[in-house]
Amino acid sequence: MMSQYRKHALPMAIAIALSVFDASVSEATAQDAQPASASTLDQIVVTGTRSKDRTVLDSPVPIDVLTPEDLRAAGAVNGELGQALAALLPSFNFPRQSNSGGSDHVRAAQLRGMSPDQVLVLVNGKRFHTSALVNADTKIGRGTTPVDFNAIPISSIKRIEVLRDGAGAQYGSDAIAGVVNIILDDAPEGGEVTASYGAFHTDFKPTGRTITDGQSGFASAKFGARLGGDGGFVRAGIESNQHEPTNRAGFDQIPSWENQSPANLALQGKRNYAAGDPQSENYSGWVNAELPLADNVRAYAFGIYTQRRTIGDNYFRYPDSDANVPAIYPDGYRPESQGYNRDVNLTAGARGRIGEWDYDGSLTWGGNSFAYDLRNSVNVSLGPDSPTSFRIGKYEGTQSTANLDLSRSVEWGTTLYTVATGAEYRRETFRTYAGDPASYEVGPVAGAPIGAQAGGGLTPQDTANLSRHVGAAYLDISADLTERLFADAAARYEHYNDFGSAWTGKLSGRYAFTPNYALRGAISNNIRAPSLSQVGFESTSTGYGANGELVQGRVLSVNNPIARGLGATPLQPEKSRNISLGFTARLGEHFDASLDVYRIDVDHRVTLSETIATDGLESYILANYGVPGVQSVAFFTNAVDTRTRGAELVANYRHPAYGGNLTLTGTYSYNRTSIRKVRDTPPQLAALGADAVLFGLEERNTLTDAAPRQRGALTAKWDAPRWSLLGRLTRQGATTRVFDFGGGFVPTQTYAARWQLDAEVEWHATERLSLAIGGQNITDQYPTRSIADIAYAGNFPYDVISPIGVNGAYWYGRVRYTF
Sort 444 into a burial class: Cβ within 10 Å, 0-12 / 13-18 / 19+.
Answer: exposed
Instruction: Give the structural domain span for 465.
Output: 2-222+232-818
Q: What is the CATH number of the domain that holds 44?
A: 2.40.170.20
Q: Which residues contact 473 (CB under 8 A, 6 or more apart)?
A: 421, 422, 423, 424, 492, 493
- For residue 308, being part of any structural domain is answered with yes
Classify residue 730 by burial, with Cβ atoms within 10 Å: 0-12, 13-18, 19+: buried
Radius of gyration of the chain (CA): 27
pLDDT of residue 53: 61
- Spatial separation of the C-alpha atoms in residues 129 and 400, rounded to whole Å: 9
In a domain, 687, yes or no: yes
Q: What is the pTM of this model?
A: 0.90
What are the φ/ψ torsions at residue 454 (nearest 5 degrees)?
75, 15
Over the stretch 503-522, which tens digit does the pLDDT of each residue have? 999 999 999 999 999 999 99
Residues 345-367 as b/e (b if ≥16 CB within 10 A, e otherwise) read bebebbbbeeeeebbbebebbbb
pLDDT band at 547 (very low <50, low <70, confident <90, very high): low
Poorest-pLDDT segment among 2-16, 39-53, 214-228, 563-577: 2-16
The 10s digit of each residue's pLDDT in 371-415 is 999 999 999 999 999 999 999 999 999 999 999 999 999 999 889
Q: Provide the 3-class DSSP secondary structure of residue 385.
A: helix
391: β partners = 373
CA dihedral sign of residues 388, 316, 450, 540: negative
Mean pLDDT of 195-200: 96
Cβ partners under 8 Å of residue 154, min gap 6 = 71, 76, 79, 80, 81, 84, 220, 239
Tell me if 111 is assigned to some domain.
yes
Alpha-carbon distance values, 532 to 132, 308, 464, 538 (Å): 10, 24, 9, 12
Residues present in the chain in total: 819
Sequence-distant (6+) residues with CB within 8 A of 23 are none
Q: How far apart are CA 288 and CA 431, in angstroms?
A: 30
pLDDT at 36: 36
DSSP string, 534-566: HHH--EEEEEE-TTS-EEEEEEE-TTSHHHHHT
SS3 label, residue 103: helix
Q: How many domains does the chain have?
A: 1
Tens-digit pLDDT profile for residues 341-373: 999 999 999 999 999 999 999 999 999 999 999
pLDDT digit string (tens) for 47-73? 766 666 666 778 899 999 999 999 988
**pLDDT tens profile 703-735:** 999 999 999 999 999 999 999 999 999 999 999
Cα separation, 13 vs 240, in Å, equals: 11
Instruction: Let me know if residue 522 belongs to a domain.
Output: yes
pLDDT in tens, 641-682: 999 999 999 999 999 999 999 999 999 999 999 999 999 999
Q: What are the tens digits of pLDDT across the range 741-786?
A: 878 899 999 999 999 999 999 999 999 999 999 999 999 999 999 9
Q: Residue 227: inside a domain, yes or no?
A: no
